Structure 1
Amino acid sequence: MNTNSVNRTDCPEVKVPFLIFFTVGIVSLAENLLVVLAVILNRNLHSPMYCFICSLAAFNTIASLTKTWENLMIVFADVGQLEKRGPSETKLDDMMDSLLCMSFVGSIFSFLAIAVDRYITIFNALRYHNIMTMQRTGGILVVIWTTCGVSAVLMVRFFDFKFIMICFVVFFIVSLAIICFLYVYMFLLARIHAKSIAALPPGSGGKCQRQRRWASNMRGALTLTILFGAFVVCWAPFFTHLIIIMVCPLNPYCECYRSLFQLHVVLIMSHALIDPAIYAFRSAELRYTFRKMLLCSSWKLCS
């Protein structure tokens, strides 16, 4: 998204070498495609939570592909192979901006879906499979992708209107607040739940099983909290950039922050690079699947 303007300050614009953009984009693209393939190939990962994680990885893949292609276009334009503001180039740029917006909105909705799934898993364990069926999960994913596609096109089409930019920023802040509230509430209830399990007499039936199931579910919730933290760290500078455009477009100190725009874009792309590493670090099943895929020992991972 072209949010740069003429720099009216002594702070020079920070330029990131194309090789860094290209390397981050290609590596993150490969990593997220690996996650998607792992979820598809391993039947043990055919659960609602991993379907939402697969959706998140797919949105990250779109973001990586979009930014990598956009930077290739910039290189071609710099060497005179493309017009920087030609009609076809402008349309292609708008399309890539739409895909990037879709990736962002989709990540937010995926995190929200994952948070709700973890909440149901922890506090409605006995009814979980009746509530979160694979059919219902598929319906949720269809709604998420359709909503993200439509909203992304509208955002880019009318982004020059200040109201749309405000809505974009407000959506980011409100979404963060909702997801943070849900996670805090979930962990507070989990603490009470853990105390109630610990208070059961040692000989009571199923105590150890309940403790193991609760610990496993909480580990999953903690993993998703880490993922969400990485998302906030990587996307927040870009949204600070948008806020500065609206609040103080002519202030030289604000322009100094805006001179770091390319670094903010690298952070956005790095989010797609970081997520698969967190999946692999926190999930033994995914590590096993990755090992099988990379060693080519068996494409039929779990029959």
Structure 2
Amino acid sequence: MADRNLTVITEFILLGLTEDPVLNTVLSVLCLLIYVITVAGNLWIIVIILATDQLHSPKYFFLTHLAFLDFCYSSVFLPKMLINYLVGQNSISYHGCLLQYSFVNMFLTAECFLLAAMAYDRYLAICSPLYYRCLMTPTFCIYLVSASYLLGCANSLTHLRSLLNLTFCGPNVIDHYFCDIPLLFQLSCSDTHDSEVLFIVLSGATSITTFLIVVSSYLGILITVLKIHSARGSYKALSTCASHLTVVTLFYGTVISTYLGTSSSFPQDTEKILSVFYTLLLPVLNLFIYSVRNKEAKEAMRRMIKRKIFAQ
């Protein structure tokens, strides 16, 4: 123990998605493709919304920030993972590891609150259409988005402070592709009980509170839609809600399963699969459901492409 306590960890080793070199190559190429689609697609959506006056509404204002958050938290760990694969090394510095987790946590927390705000926006638009413009003003939208970012920062800084109080003296191998806090707890040679309780309380409060807001909003929408006598109107509203609700259910389901279950309740490979789902696949799914399947967004894309073509 004396020798162990004298050793201070200055870097961690990330094992990545798999130790199989062939499979690792295939997965790395796939991750690169997903990352390129995520970055290009989300930045393109942001440009289209900002450049199209018809899309300057609360719904698309929130969508702009959702695209920005998806771009951000994918960029926190994916470039590092791909660079490590290309150069043949899997190390990350101690401070780099803590910062990586902190940024992932900040963007994910902000997205939780933003999805709740988007659900509330849809609730007001469908259930209170006459008062929608009075209630969902540009100032109120800015407040909601600002609150999402501020709560994300506060949550992240709280966890970072907790991690900085822990001591890491070996081993330093993380069986994951990014620095995840449950695995950091396992590697610490300090008493992590208080930090783990803090993590569960904050993560639980964030996930469950925002999920309940989303569910209650869509239940209110469902009740309102069922009262609509027009079959076409009911179908249109329900199809929109179903798409949005699918995204948030998958997002909250994987995040809650990963972080609120005990770290020993799943095999590590299962935790990796869950993490891949919400860190890599959901940003692409968001891009498809909120943008590609959105008629207004697609029409704005066509108009912008035509303008670019005829401008040449």
TM range (shorter): 0.7 to 0.9
Check the 8 A contact 1:33/1:57 in 2, yes or no.
yes
Contiguous gaps of at least 5 residues in structure 1: 7-11, 199-210
2:211, 2:252 within 8 Å by CA — same for their partners in 1? Answer: no
Pick the aligned partner of 2:283 from 272, 280, 289: 272
Question: Which of the numbers 254, 257, 263 marks the counterpart of 1:240?
Answer: 257
Structure 1 residues 27 and 225, CA, compared in 2 at 3 Å: closer, same or farther?
A: same
Change beyond 3 A, Cα 1:126–1:232: closer
Match of 2:71 in 1: 61
Q: Secondary structure at the match of 1:136?
A: helix
Which among 19, 26, 31 is matched to residue 21 of structure 1?
A: 31
Q: 1:183 aligns with which of 188, 200, 218?
A: 218
Q: Aligned to 1:37, which of 13, 32, 47?
A: 47
Kept in 2, the 8 Å contact 1:22–1:71? The answer is no
By how many angstroms is 1:286 displaced?
A: 0.4
Instruction: Give the conservation status (yes or no) of the 8 Å contact 2:49–2:55.
Output: yes
Change (3 A) 1:271 1:294: farther
Q: How does 1:32-111 map to 2 (within 5 A)?
A: 32-75=42-85, 79-80=88-89, 84=91, 89-111=93-115
Greater RCO (Cα-Cα under 8 Å, separation 6 or more): 1
CA distance in 2, matches of 1:147, 1:299: 45
> For each residue in 1:61-91, what CA deviation from the matched residue of structure 2 results, as whole angstroms up to 9, or x when unmatched?
1122123123135326x724x7x25xxx222
Query: What CA distance in whole angstroms lies between the structure 2 residues aligned with 1:96 and 1:221?
Result: 38
Residue equivalent to 2:173: none
Would the alpha carbon gap of residues 190 and 234 (structure 1) be closer, same or farther in structure 2, given more than 3 Å must change?
A: closer
Residue of 114, 117, 122 corresponding to 1:118: 122
Match 2:246 to one of 206, 224, 229: 229
Amino acid at match of 2:146: V
Give the distance between the partners of 2:289 and 2:14, measured in 1 at CA. Answer: 36
The change in CA–CA distance for 1:143 and 1:170 in structure 2 (over 3 A counts) is closer
* TM-score, normalised with respect to structure 2: 0.71
Q: Can you list the C-alpha shifts for 1:230-263, whole angstroms capped at 9, x where unaligned?
A: 24325534542334434xx3xxxx45x3223332
C-alpha separation in 2, matches of 1:262 and 1:183? 30
User: Paired residue for 1:149?
Assistant: 153
Q: Is the 8 A contact 1:25 1:67 kept in 2?
A: no
Specify the alignment match of 1:286 in structure 2.
297
Give the 3 Å change call, closer, same or farther, for CA 179–279 of structure 1 in structure 2. closer
Cα distance per residue 1:6-60 (max 9 Å; x no partner): 9xxxxx9787522222221221111111111111111111011111111111111
Shift in alpha-carbon separation, 1:237–1:279, aligned structure 2, 3 A: closer
Distance 2:118 2:216 in 1: 14
Structure 2 contact 110–148 (Cα < 8 Å) conserved? yes
**TM-score with structure 1 setting the length:** 0.73
* Cα distance in structure 2, aligned partners of 1:232 and 1:297: 38
Tell me, in whole angstroms, the C-alpha distance in 2 between the residues paired with 1:298 and 1:221. Answer: 36
Equivalent residue letter for 1:182: S
1:221 Cα deviation from its structure 2 partner: 6.7
What is the SS of the residue equivalent to 2:308? coil
CA distance in 2, matches of 1:190, 1:13: 50
Distance apart, 1:293 and its partner CA: 4.1
Over the aligned positions, Cα root-mean-square deviation in angstroms equals 3.2
Alpha-carbon offset, residue 174 of structure 1: 3.7
Match of 1:9 in 2: none
5+ residue gaps, structure 2:
1-12, 163-180, 186-194
Cα distance change of structure 1 residues 126 and 231 upon mapping to structure 2, 3 Å threshold: closer
Percent identity over paired residues: 16
Q: Which is worse superposed, 52-61 or 262-271?
A: 262-271
